[in-house]
């Protein structure tokens, strides 16, 4: 009995080592991911977008390959922070890839698809605004704003199906704002400030009732001073929902 106990005691370091270099390593990585995500979320609350992007980028490679959904959610939050950090083009391209990836899944996460589509439509709206200000021809920006229109239409239809009246109104107003941008004369557009995102926490994506109505009316009349001093090429600040 004593010999058996000594043998078992001697095997303890082996078991500890096996755990440390096996499941323990995976858990350590998950702990690192969790720490970086929490730090990124704090950076978002402080509107430190550069730090948030850096932390999300550090967390992504540490996510285990089998945790696809977690990685996709991180990409979405990273892309939102990138848009607020003046990295609109890169965020726009990754949102395109992410939405395409989600839609190809056999059983896509409906909520994640909706959030990604919402961010994508928002990015398309601001990319169109920037391209038009930079003098890109209609053939360059029209497909993008048309995609934004389709995405907002799908979001509105989804809101109608789920019975979310508030969200339906918001998405319909987003759709109207997109149509106004597509039809707005370039001279009028050049006299308008790039719209500042609203502070809504819901589905409006920054192109909501207050913001959307201002785009074609009050802001077009030049009654408000632009609060965002960044140039068109750096992209306007997108929504903060879901961060």
The answer to whether residue 9 is domain-embedded is: no
The answer to whether residue 1 is domain-embedded is: no
| Domain CATH code at residue 59 | 1.25.40
* Confidence category of residue 42, pLDDT binned at 50, 70, 90: very high
Q: Which tens digits make up the pLDDT trace of 138-188?
A: 999 999 999 999 999 999 999 999 988 999 999 999 999 999 999 999 989
Q: What is the mean pLDDT of residues 210-228?
A: 39
The answer to whether residue 223 is domain-embedded is: yes
DSSP label of 195: P
| CB-based burial, 14-24: b 16+ in 10 Å, e otherwise | eeeeeeeeeee
pLDDT at 25: 64
* Confidence category of residue 1, pLDDT binned at 50, 70, 90: low
Measure Cα distances from 64 to 26, 55, 58, 67 in Å: 8, 17, 13, 6
CB 193 within 8 A of CB 228: yes
93 φ/ψ angles, rounded to the nearest 5 degrees:
-65, -40
The answer to whether residue 72 is domain-embedded is: yes
Other residues' Cβ atoms within 10 Å of the Cβ of residue 234? 16
Q: Which tens digits make up the pLDDT trace of 83-118?
A: 999 999 999 999 999 999 999 999 999 999 999 999
Answer yes or no: is pLDDT of 44 > 90.
yes
Q: What are the helix and strand counts (H, E) for the chain?
A: 10, 0
CB 89 within 8 A of CB 235: yes
The answer to whether residue 19 is domain-embedded is: no
CB 81 within 8 A of CB 56: yes
3-state secondary structure of 203: coil
Whole-number percent of the chain with pLDDT over 70: 69
Q: What domain range includes position 134?
A: 26-234
The answer to whether residue 20 is domain-embedded is: no
Other residues' Cβ atoms within 10 Å of the Cβ of residue 179? 15
* Confidence category of residue 31, pLDDT binned at 50, 70, 90: confident
Minimal CA–CA distance to 234: which of 147, 133, 103? 133
Q: How many domains does the chain have?
A: 1
The answer to whether residue 242 is domain-embedded is: no
Answer yes or no: is pLDDT of 80 > 50.
yes
CB 117 within 8 A of CB 154: yes
The answer to whether residue 2 is domain-embedded is: no
190 φ/ψ angles, rounded to the nearest 5 degrees:
-65, -20
* Confidence category of residue 12, pLDDT binned at 50, 70, 90: low
């Amino acid at each position: 009995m004593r010999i058996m106990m000594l043998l078992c005691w001697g095997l303890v370091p082996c078991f500890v080592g096996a755990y440390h270099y096996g499941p323990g390593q995976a858990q350590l990585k998950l702990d690192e991911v969790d720490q970086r995500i929490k730090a990124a979320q704090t950076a978002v609350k402080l509107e430190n977008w550069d730090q948030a992007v850096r932390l999300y980028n550090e967390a992504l490679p540490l996510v285990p390959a089998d945790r696809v959904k977690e990685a996709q959610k991180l990409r979405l939050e990273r892309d939102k922070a990138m848009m607020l950090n003046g990295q609109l083009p890169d965020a726009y391209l990754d949102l395109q890839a992410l939405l395409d990836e989600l839609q190809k899944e056999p059983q896509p996460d409906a909520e994640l698809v909706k959030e990604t589509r919402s961010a994508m439509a928002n990015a398309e709206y601001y990319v169109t605004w920037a391209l038009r200000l930079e003098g890109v021809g209609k053939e360059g920006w029209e497909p993008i704003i048309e995609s934004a229109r389709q995405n907002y239409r799908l979001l509105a239809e989804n809101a109608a199906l789920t019975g979310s009246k508030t969200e339906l109104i918001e998405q319909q107003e987003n759709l109207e704002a997109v149509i106004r941008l597509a039809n707005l004369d370039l001279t009028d557009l050049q006299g308008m400030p790039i719209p500042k995102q609203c502070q809504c926490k819901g589905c409006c994506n920054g192109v909501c009732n207050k913001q959307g109505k201002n785009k074609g009316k009050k802001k077009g009349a030049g009654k408000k001073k632009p609060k965002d001093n960044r140039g068109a090429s750096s992209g306007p600040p997108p929504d903060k929902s879901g961060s």
